[in-house]
Amino acid sequence: MLQVARIQGGRKLQGTIHVAGSKNAALPILAATLLTTEKVVLHNVPDLSDVRFMVEILQHQGAEISQPKKGIWIIQARKIIHRTPYDLVRKMRASVCLLGALVGRLRQAEMAIPGGCVIGPRPIDLHLKGLEALGCIVSVENGLVTIDAQHSKGDTVFMGGPMGSTVTGTANIIMAATTTPGMTTIESAAQEPEVVDLCTFLIKMGAKISGQGTPTIKVEGVDSLHGCEHFIIPDRIEAGTYLVAGAITDGDVTVKGANANHLTAFLDKLREAGVQVETGADYIRAHGRPSRAVEIVTEPYPGFPTDLQAQFMALQLLVDGRSTITEKVYPSRFMHAAELQRMGAEISVDGPTAAVYGDRPLSGAPVMASDLRASAALILAALAAKGETWVQRLYHLDRGYEHFEERLRALGADIERLPAAAMPKGFAED
Ligand code: EPU
């Protein structure tokens, strides 16, 4: 059943919430559980539809999976198959992380190629080029990629592309290299905390990895990996989204369990915009509204994260003057701009740069979410708008935010989830 969010703007959000486990750390780590026949126990796994898609894929591959309680998954992949069909892959682009795990475990993989999506074309050429550098035989035919890694061996792999290094591409090469004979050196490796968490997990499984968190990662192949227990890192994007919710409503929100070191560029811009930010060992607090226009450039970590760009655009709507956003990771990730304009925003998009002319009156409207982060941005703008906003295509939100509307309600938001049929006549999509 299609669902929508109804938001009545104008309430200040105040209080404390606990950050969930990171989606983008959990997905490759779940894939990596296929690297061993032994039992793996994962804690702090977020309750998201993307996680459920990944669990479904792992079950298809042959893994036995149970969830003894919320946030904990036990996975054991005694015997697995190397084929992953399109009907599973098309549900979630991150299923591409399976390639490295299957190569590492079975020395072969056959997988439907995930398509692009609304945020950009999202090719996997760098993943495949990296596997070829390790001596894998890679062929692409009829929408399928087939990898034969029987004779692969460690080598130097370059993971940089026109948009910088690739996050899941780096994850794939690391996973494949864990059991590839010899030393693999990944240059221009992604430095994201989620890649570091994957390495922490793999090291617990017996992998020999060094340099994670820097542009050069070294992986020395081992014969096999074993089971382990791991606690997923906090979701920096979820944390950032709630901090924007506090600032956009001139409220006061503390995110407990968040790691401020993972959000340096974002917090720097929040402060530059005039929001009061306080950080401690395991919390981040944002209070007060923004007052200054700022320039944002999204970049691979440690730069400003593209996954917080849409939410920050919503925040910029409050500020008098001209703010800009330049997308260097996904140059066309601005679908939310047109929907924000329907709420009264003035935004002009020119190639990879959006200019936001803020301090225009925002009013509630029926809007359509185009992707995960866009859906969060529309809800954030709705919190600051006058009147009622209806956000459609809520399934995008559920891919990456655990119980978003419940958690916002706990901070004081007037938001509810309703069946699409509850929308005023003429608002709902067909
Ligand atoms: N790219 C290539 N060739 C490749 C791979 C990537 O040209 O082979 C380009 C992409 O088109 C893009 C850029 O490189 O322009 C970066 O893509 P990357 O591969 O790093 O993205 P990803 O690994 O597919 C992860 C996150 C995304 C996040 C990006 C960038 C996961 C599961 N997904 O995607 O998260 O936006 O890194 O940080 O980790 C989200 O959570 O909303 C989300 C989209």
CA distance 269 to 288: 14
Nearest protein CA to atom 18 of ligand 1, as residue? 166
Mutate to test the pocket of ligand 1, among 27, 53, 163 (most ligand atoms within 8 A of CB): 163
The larger pLDDT score, comparing residue 25 to residue 428, is at: 25
Mean pLDDT of the residues in the chain: 96
Contact by Cβ (8 Å): 343, 363: yes
Sign, Cα dihedral of 25, 27, 28, 29? positive
Best residue among 167, 304, 397 to mutate for probing ligand 1's pocket (most ligand atoms within 8 Å of CB) is 167
Tell me the backbone φ, ψ of residue 133, rounded to 5 degrees: -65, -25
Q: What is the pLDDT of residue 430?
A: 65
CATH architecture of 23-231: Alpha-beta prism (3.65)
* Identified catalytic residue from 117, 136, 199, 228: 117
Instruction: Report whether 282 contacts 256 (CB < 8 A).
Output: yes
Structural tokens at position 233: 């890192």
CA 209/CA 220 separation, integer angstroms: 7
Q: Is 318 in the pocket of ligand 1 (CB under 6 A)?
A: no
Residue 285 reports pLDDT greater than 90? yes
pLDDT, position 18: 98
pLDDT over threshold 80, residue 96: yes
Predicted confidence (pLDDT) per residue in 159-212, tens digit: 999 999 999 999 999 999 999 999 999 999 999 999 999 999 999 999 999 999
Residue 116 has pLDDT above 80, yes or no: no
Q: Does 92 contact ligand 1 (Cβ within 6 A)? A: no
What is the Cα–Cα distance from 26 to 33, expressed in whole angstroms?
11
> Are 3-20+234-422 and 23-231 in the same CATH fold?
yes
- Among residues of the chain, what percentage have pLDDT more than 90? 93
Q: What is the mean pLDDT of residues 59-65?
A: 98
Q: How many CA atoms lie within 13 A of 376 on its CB side?
A: 29
Ligand 1 atom 43 nearest Cα: 307
Is residue 296's pLDDT more than 80?
Answer: yes
pLDDT of 122 reads 84
325-373 residue pLDDT tens: 999 999 999 999 999 999 999 999 999 999 999 999 999 999 999 999 9
327 lines ligand 1 (CB under 6 A): no
For the residues 219-244, what does the mean pLDDT come to?
98
Is 117 annotated in the active site?
yes
Q: Is the CB of 191 under 6 A from ligand 1?
A: no
For the chain, give the percent of residues with pLDDT over 70. Answer: 100
Give the domain ranges of the chain. 3-20+234-422, 23-231
Homologous superfamily in CATH for domain 3-20+234-422 = Enolpyruvate transferase domain (3.65.10.10)
On the question of pLDDT at 428 being above 90, the answer is no
Ligand 1 atom at shortest distance from the alpha carbon of 128: 8
In angstroms, how far is CA 258 from the centroid of its own chain? 16
What is the per-residue burial (b if ≥16 Cβ within 10 Å, else e) of 349-384? beebbbbbbbebebebbbbbbbbbbbbbbbbbbbbb
In angstroms, the CA 258 to CA 25 distance is 14
Q: Please, what sign has the CA dihedral across residues 302, 359, 370, 254?
A: positive
Helix (H, G, I), strand (E, B) or coil at 98: helix
